[in-house]
Structure 1
Amino acid sequence: MKTKAVRMYGLDDLRLETFDLPEMKEDEILVKVISDSICMSTYKAVKQGKNHKRVPQDVDTNPIIVGHEMAGVIVKVGKKYEGQFLPGQKFSLQPALNYKGSPFSPGYSYPYFGGNATYNIIPPEVMELGCLLVYDGDSYFGASLGEPMSCIIGGYHANYHTVTGKYEHIMGTKAGGDLIIMGGAGPMGLGAVDYALAIDNRPKRVVVADISDDRLKRAARFITPERAKAAGVELIYVNTAAYDDPIAHLMSLTGDKGYDDVFVYAPVKVLVEEGDKLLAKDGCMNFFAGPTDHQFNAPINLYHVHYSNTHIMGSTGGNTDDLKEALYMAANHLINPSVMLTHIGGIDATIDAIMDLPNIPGGKKLIYNHIDMPLTAIEDFGKLGENDPLFKALHERVEKHNGLWNAEAEAYLLKYFDAEA
């Protein structure tokens, strides 16, 4: 069987090619990859080439398929996994394999297994580790976005609080507490707010701090304070650039108590410093954003660490249980991962989207592998629809869902290009 895929040959070397997949073995699974959302980690890998720890040294002669936030449908199941998986099932997967200590993972390391391809052969280690997951939702994008959502969920689970007088950690964000997301109006921040409103141990107050009015307005449109109030949460959006003393203003929102949980969603030194200052007694700050500078650092108040029991930690990625939670919540419409999405495109748009990812505004970019379409901002569908019937139809379906990408729009797009599974 032939597949069409974006392959990496080394530093800044991506190529869209059609080639033959090898014959599937009895311990492998053949899948049709419908969608893949582009991760900044892919951009970083392309910018490092074989210097990236997950990229094989022979990538120049044995190229790998990029992309790891994939979803699709199972086509054929090898004999070993017959009955456990069935043709026609939707799937997602946990890309952080860590198989027998190997750093290799899809999107970085495999010649026939990655998200930016029409067809893949999933190797046996994925099934052995329980990383191939069946998805019961009504869309593919919900499964593709399960991986970034699992990272958010992992951050919430990784935070912790203590019990006075006991050597005991209570895992998770504080129920009924104050939570703030610094640099929080981007795609991952929106996912974090969406998740906060859905969990059982939800906070009483969520503050989203950012310095962009445009991002904050978009965030407030998709996740309204009214919706949060209905869930029992006070949601406040704050442009900290509008205040001479942003710390004083943010503290005042908690009655000067401070925040039980602080998430720093951008690798900016001043945000780390401000987050530390905002911590309440026994507050936990999670440095969620991954810096590229190995020497990135910021001062923290060790007096408060000692006397107020504040704690600093970091989290990156989510485990398989986090992904299962993300997929379950998305499939049952408890969360809406599409709040992270701002652009849609076809496989022909993948290379340019990856190479220019830091300069493309907005949130997550979603690629549909079986269509050809320029990477297009969802907010531009209306204007484009004045002359293009496809975008007119997509705009109508998006507007029915408050401007968000949705299962109805996805189904229309796939049918239009005859790309249904």
Structure 2
Amino acid sequence: MRASVLYPDGRLLVEERPIPRPRPGEVLIRVLAVGVCGSDTHYLRHGRIGTHVVEHPIVLGHEAAGVIVGVGDGVPKSRVGQRVSIEPQCPDPSTDESRRGHYNLCPRMRFYATPPVDGALCEYVTIGAAFAHAVPDSVGDDAAALCEPLSVGITAIRKAEVTMGDSVLIAGAGPIGLMCAQVARAAGADRIVVSEPDAVRQAIAPRFGATEVVEPGAEIADVSAFIDASGVPAAVTAGVRALRPAGRAVLVGMGADEMSLPTSVIQNREIVLTGVFRYANTWPAALSLITSGRVDLDAMITGRFGLDDVRAALESDRTPGSIKAIVYPGGTPPATPIQSPESAESDTVEDVHP
């Protein structure tokens, strides 16, 4: 099979690799679509995310969908031919975290495109059968691949406990911020304020759920939930200060390793502060949101690329108008025209899954 391989020195080459064989309990998937994530571009540009370093050649890509073409022992052969969205995790079911249901926090997790584990920018991958989620015919390959970043938004909104009539402040109108806004709208939030410095991203935010768009530093008060999708310390501080008593702050964007927080505000208002690290048990909700039309993932796609153009796909976040790029490992990108909303170029790493 063909695979796009990133080397420690920054080279990105298309190489021939053996097609993997599914082990017991796994399925073999022909990859049809892969979304480009900020973590992929970060590995390309910087060679590392935190303690995860590209020390050996690696295949990037963890937002993926495809069709099952083979099964390992213990998996029904009837699954061959099934279109699936890939949940790119391989937790150890014996760890305490997995047994508690928090398998995303498994200390022995193997996650697509996190060194040294290969990802999905190739023609075939394997995954545990339970992590290959069947998708209905009404869900296209692109949207099926984007169930992964949508799952980050679902997790953030769940942790923020957003429900009908709530007010939400979201810092950042990049892909994850816009996912959060869509999910907040689907959850019934009445007021969705998006804070974003760039004018073109400000302009597109209402299309994806924002009821108000403000400049960072604008006076916002008495919101029930704050979600940071920027990783900017100043945005986090402002968001915490905007919360009403007993509000909830959820940190999604990864920026500074450490930052100062208004601890007196957190204590006096009994603010709940938490983070998001990947997701668990989100795919049924993601597929329900897509099939019901409550979120629109196809509208977020602004670039389509073949496997030979992965570098261009990874660099497309610098292109004005870019929100989400899709790579098609198995062939030529579809000729479907893209209605591309204007957006800002940014190096912010929002959706990082180390």
> TM-score, with normalisation over the residues of structure 2?
0.81
- 1:27 to partner: Cα distance: 4.7
* 2:196 counterpart of 1:198: no
Residues 28-49 of structure 1, C-alpha deviations (whole Å, 9 max, x = no match): 4222100000111223334565
Residues 133-175 of structure 1, C-alpha deviations (whole Å, 9 max, x = no match): 212243011111001000110011112xxxxxxxxxxxx1253
| Equivalent of residue 359 in structure 1, options 310, 318, 324 | 318
Is contact 1:152-1:318 (8 Å) kept? no
Residues 26 and 153 of structure 1, relative CA distance in 2, 3 Å threshold: closer
Unaligned stretches of 5+ residues in structure 2: 96-106, 342-354
* 2:30 counterpart of 1:32: yes
Residues 55 and 79 of structure 1, relative CA distance in 2, 3 Å threshold: farther
Is contact 2:313-2:327 (8 Å) kept? no
Distance 1:287 1:105 in 2: 21
Is contact 1:11-1:46 (8 Å) kept? no
* 2:64 counterpart of 1:70: yes
Is contact 1:68-1:114 (8 Å) kept? yes
Distance 2:49 2:267 in 1: 40
1:305 alignment counterpart: 266
| Equivalent of residue 165 in structure 2, options 176, 189, 194 | 176
Distance 2:226 2:3 in 1: 40
Highest RCO, 1 vs 2 (Cα 8 Å, sep ≥ 6): 2
Is contact 1:90-1:134 (8 Å) kept? yes
Q: Classify the secondary structure of the residue corresponding to 1:80.
A: coil
| Equivalent of residue 278 in structure 2, options 307, 317, 323 | 317
* 2:329 counterpart of 1:350: no
Distance 2:279 2:174 in 1: 19
Residues 80 and 334 of structure 1, relative CA distance in 2, 3 Å threshold: same
Distance 1:217 1:51 in 2: 31
One-letter amino acid matched to 2:295:
I
Residues 219 and 204 of structure 1, relative CA distance in 2, 3 Å threshold: closer
More helix by share: 1
Distance 1:98 1:26 in 2: 15
Tell me the C-alpha RMSD between the 2 structures.
2.8
| Percent identical residues | 21
Distance 1:37 1:77 in 2: 24
Unaligned stretches of 5+ residues in structure 1: 160-171, 229-234, 252-257, 374-389, 405-421
- 1:77 to partner: Cα distance: 2.0
- 1:263 to partner: Cα distance: 1.1
Is contact 1:285-1:312 (8 Å) kept? yes
| Equivalent of residue 108 in structure 1, options 110, 114, 125 | 114
* 2:218 counterpart of 1:246: yes
2:249 alignment counterpart: 285
One-letter amino acid matched to 1:238:
V
Distance 2:139 2:53 in 1: 34
Q: Tell me how many residue pairs correspond in the alignment.
A: 326
Residues 52 and 315 of structure 1, relative CA distance in 2, 3 Å threshold: closer
Larger Rg: 1
